[in-house]
Amino acid sequence: MAPKKRKKKSFSKPTRKIVIKKAVSEPEFREGLLKNPKESVEKLLGHKFRRSVNVHVVQEDPDNIYIVLPVSAYARSDASIREMPDSWFLSVKRGTEP
């Protein structure tokens, strides 16, 4: 029997909320997130992204507003999006850190 293929998942809204909540409540984490976003997010989530994945963090100010568009359905099927284990998404859904 062939192994079951996992559905590819993107960086979800609940995941972003966890990162933002920690950045707001912990100045040390916020500083690290701004200096080295990929490493900070990997450490928080306990998950390494593949080398080709980049993580960008921007901080709004009164003169700049940022709008982040979600990944399109076409891009979601792209192999560049890293699979994450289902157990990790369950912990994010519960609002806990993995």
pLDDT tens per residue across span 33-77: 999 999 999 999 898 999 999 999 999 899 988 887 777 655 555
Query: Would you say residue 50 lies in a domain?
Result: yes
Query: Would you say residue 25 lies in a domain?
Result: yes
Query: Would you say residue 22 lies in a domain?
Result: yes
Query: Would you say residue 5 lies in a domain?
Result: no
Total domain count, the chain: 1
Query: Would you say residue 95 lies in a domain?
Result: no
Which H, E and C letters describe the chain, residue by residue? CCCCCCCCCCCCHHHHHHHHHHHHHCHHHHHHHHHCHHHHHHHHHCCCCCCCCCCCCCCCECCECCCCCCCCHHHHCCCCCCCCCHHHHHHHHHCCCC
Question: What is the span of the domain harbouring residue 65?
Answer: 13-88
| Predicted structure pTM score | 0.60
Confidence of residue 30 (pLDDT cuts 50, 70, 90): very high
Query: Would you say residue 84 lies in a domain?
Result: yes
* Cβ-contact 2, 32 below 8 angstroms: no
Structure tokens, 27: 């100045």
Residue 35 Ramachandran class (φ > 0 left, ψ -120 to 50 alpha, else beta): alpha
Query: Would you say residue 4 lies in a domain?
Result: no
